[in-house]
Chains A and B, each alone.
Chain A
Amino acid sequence: DAGVIQSPRHEVTEMGQEVTLRCKPISGHNSLFWYRQTMMRGLELLIYFNNNVPIDDSGMPEDRFSAKMPNASFSTLKIQPSEPRDSAVYFCASSFLAAPSGNTIYFGEGSWLTVV
């Protein structure tokens, strides 16, 4: 079975450039998450969609970050303009909301972003 698919796996870009990260969730899942992971701050939730609708975006660092989910099988996380402090691993994850709590979340392999 295909898991959560993210692209690109690695990206190196110059400060000021636009970065777009892509995610294809597991088919049938109705929840999608974007996380950012760094050594200093650990795993942080950026935004959470349920049924393609953003439910909580309080973790989005600032206006330079935006996320969309135009349909159930695709989401993007965009950073414009990018800054060196955005360098991190960005994970997309998906889940099916079947129970009030304790549902399994499946993570992609991550997009490793380096902004120089």
Chain B
Amino acid sequence: TQLLEQSPQFLSIQEGENLTVYCNSSSVFSSLQWYRQEPGEGPVLLVTVVTGGEVKKLKRLTFQFGDARKDSSLHITAAQPGDTGLYLCAGGRVNAGNMLTFGGGTRLMVKP
């Protein structure tokens, strides 16, 4: 059972389209991270959000942490083929050290 549910699991879109990926949980997290993983490589951190309601932008990517710190979303504007990859959300808890709970991932393909 995944403590963090990501949706959709798979997404195939055309270049230029917008998309949103969701990460939901019934548990409260002290921090929420988003990673991107490309084929043959390990996940790479994109962003960390720690405050309920926090919004962070990274170029065409917008990340939001839910007010109750149980959910998060990643919105990509004008997707490009270079955005193709596996997007993983991961929740952290205070006093859990660096341990993270990962979601199942959203596999995104952006076609030219």
Not counting A55-B99, A105-B33, a sample of 18 additional A-B residue pairs whose C-beta atoms are within 8 angstroms of each other reads A33-B99, A42-B102, A43-B105, A44-B102, A45-B102, A48-B98, A55-B97, A91-B42, A97-B97, A97-B98, A101-B31, A101-B96, A102-B48, A104-B33, A105-B100, A107-B43, A110-B40, A110-B42
Interface centre among A4, A100, A104, A108 (most CB of B within 10 A): A100
Count class of interface residues, chain B:
20 to 34
A:11-49 near B, CB below 8 Å: 31, 33, 42-45, 48
Whether A43 and B102, one on each chain, are in contact in the complex, defined by CB atoms closer than 8 angstroms, is yes
Give me the interface of B with A, judged by CB distance under 8 Å.
2, 30-31, 33, 40-45, 48, 50, 88, 92-100, 102-105
DSSP majority for the A interface? Answer: strand
Give me the interface of A with B, judged by CB distance under 8 Å.
4, 31, 33, 42-45, 48, 50, 55-56, 91, 93, 95, 97, 100-110
Q: Of all chain A residues, which has the CB nearest B94?
A: A100
**CA A48 – CA B97 in complex, angstroms?**
10
12 CB contacts below 8 A, A to B, read A33-B99, A43-B105, A44-B102, A45-B100, A48-B98, A55-B99, A95-B98, A100-B95, A101-B92, A102-B92, A103-B98, A107-B44
